[in-house]
Chain A
Amino acid sequence: MIRPARPAATTGGVINDVVELRLPADSAYLAVLRTATAGLAARLDFTLDEIEDLRIAVDEACALLLADSEPGEPMVCAFTLGHDSIEVVISARTGSGRPPGAGSFAWTVLSALAGEVKATAGADHLVTITLLKQRGGT
């Protein structure tokens, strides 16, 4: 496993490596995102439970965006690796421009899996879902 940037883990400082993926908004590419999610969470020594939870959360968030996205539009997914947390920001241009509602079942699922969830609507019908998963939290 490539681990060039882990000095911060031993010094207690903050790593803020960012890994960004730009993919076509098409479910065929979700597998790539799942692999990246598991690989990055493993780098931060997340437990298997936490890795699987995050993987399912990313899946769910993307499915939400894809269900409403314009074909041919890109979906951008940025992972920010903290000392003991990982933040995943997924955005895509959608048909409705509406973020998922905080009372929906999908939201319940995302919160239970990731911990912290935010959804925002931007210009041009861009919808962004942010997941923040802490290591050692539930």
Chain B
Amino acid sequence: MSIPSDDVTPQRAATRLESKTLFVELGAQPVGSPEHQATREALVHLHLPLVEFLARRFRDRGEPLDDLVQVGTIGLIKAVDRFDVDRGVEFSTYATPTIVGEIKRHFRDKGWAVRVPRRLQELRHELATTTELLSHSLGRAPTIAEIASALDLSEEQVLEGLESANAYSTVSLDAGSDGEDGGGGSALASIGADDEALEGVEYRESLRPLLALLPARDRQILMLRFFRNMTQSQIAVEVGISQMHVSRLLTKTLEQLREQLTEEY
């Protein structure tokens, strides 16, 4: 597994140093001035390889790579404009969710969501409602057979519905939780409470800043599932969303952490 340790290649160290210097300069220059503009462009140019790297991860989904790099670059520019050097995280770590968010938004805007057949959309809705009702009356999560019987469907149909819910969410993320605005500075402070739970996990030094960048709810769900060992259903009640939604958010958050921890950039 290629979780990065702290041994950084000379090239990467040079990029980091240059990036840091440029951000310090950027902060000192008046917004809108020609020199501010030039520094901003230099930063975007410097980090373009990150956009290309992330865009390539989506190249098999039917959109030209050039288009993905283009929308990813919009994310990069946003990240450059919002980044605060004093935050204490590497710019690449900070920018990754924003760039990925922009690429995913592109897929969403291309109407992927619209192509989910209406029948499946309705099925997903019924599944969520029924799962919640059954969880409540059974005192545990229902089985596929129980859901099928309650909805008068075959087990295959139920599985198909669950599948579509998961497939759909890999592209179309729920508004407000795609990490785009999730990097609040105060998040680093609130992570302190989770430190105890992270004791004993290797790489927690590289994990901690990534957790801090997650939207608060996603981080909470992650901690409850993996460090407090609560079930998805219990978390659903605790957080006030459906179990299916918990499952989707967990999948998405793990995927995001994986992308960042194995980042070769």
Instruction: Identify the A interface with B (CB < 8 A).
Output: 1, 28, 31, 34-35, 38-39, 42, 45-53, 55-56, 59-60, 63-64, 67-68, 98, 100-101, 103-106, 108-109, 112, 138
Contact = CB atoms under 8 A, between A and B. Distances in A.
Interface string B119-159: 00000000000010000000011111101000000111011
Contacts, number: 102
A51 B141 CA distance: 10
B176 interface: no
A66 B265 CA distance: 18
A48 B166 CA distance: 13
B28 interface: no
B83 to A, nearest CB: 25
Contacts of A38: 159, 162-163
B173 interface: no
A44 B226 CA distance: 24
The 5 closest A-B pairs by CB, nearest first: A49-B141, A47-B141, A42-B144, A103-B202, A52-B247
A54 to B, nearest CB: 11
Contact of B261 (A28, A34, A35, A105): A105
A42 B143 contact: yes
B19 interface: no
Contact of B202 (A48, A67, A104, A138): A104
Contacts of B226: 108-109, 112
Given A48-B147, A106-B258, A109-B226, 9 more contacts: A1-B156, A28-B60, A46-B144, A49-B232, A52-B232, A59-B251, A68-B1, A68-B2, A104-B1
A49 B233 contact: yes
B247 A56 contact: yes
